[in-house]
Chain A
């Protein structure tokens, strides 16, 4: 079975540009999570969805960040406009609803210059 799929794997963009990260969760998983990892702050939860509905977005750093899940097999995380401090690895994870274990995608390494 395919794991969580993320694209792109690497993204380099200039400050002020819009960035869209994509995620396809494991088929049958009802919960989807977006995390950000930096050396300074570690792995932080940004937002999560249960059955395509956003449940908690309190981890989203600013209004420049937005996330959608239009269906059970696709989610996007958008940053507009991007800033250098947004540079990080962004992970998407999924789990069956109510299960504690989460399965991570390979991540998108974002560099904003």
Chain B
């Protein structure tokens, strides 16, 4: 099993819809979880951290399920500008991050 797995997509979603995708991980000892957003030919940018109690930031909600070893990202009222690749990442602290290959999201007008 790969360390971090994501459905590569693409997810084609109409503007205004809600979309959710997951990221599964194999290392049960992972302590830190993040979602990054990467636009085409740009660097990854931190979208949000994922806390054990869940985390909400405006239209974005991230959750962690330790028992099933996955994190999720939900985007409500999707905008055209949400089109990007979403990378999940594990680890952090004083160590480097292990990234998934990303889920490609396309918001259609």
Contacts and interface: CB of A to CB of B under 8 A. Distances in A.
Interface of A: 31, 33, 35, 42-45, 48, 50, 55-56, 59, 91, 95, 97-107
B43 A42 contact: no
A55 B98 CA distance: 16
A104 B99 contact: no
A42 B42 contact: no
Q: How large is the interface on B (under 10, 10 to 19, 20 to 34, 35 or more residues)?
A: 20 to 34
Closest 9 CB pairs of A and B: A100-B92, A45-B96, A42-B101, A100-B32, A104-B43, A43-B99, A48-B96, A33-B96, A101-B46
Interface of B: 32, 34, 42-46, 49, 87, 91-102
Contacts, number: 55
A103 B46 contact: yes
B94 A50 contact: yes
Contacts of B91: 100
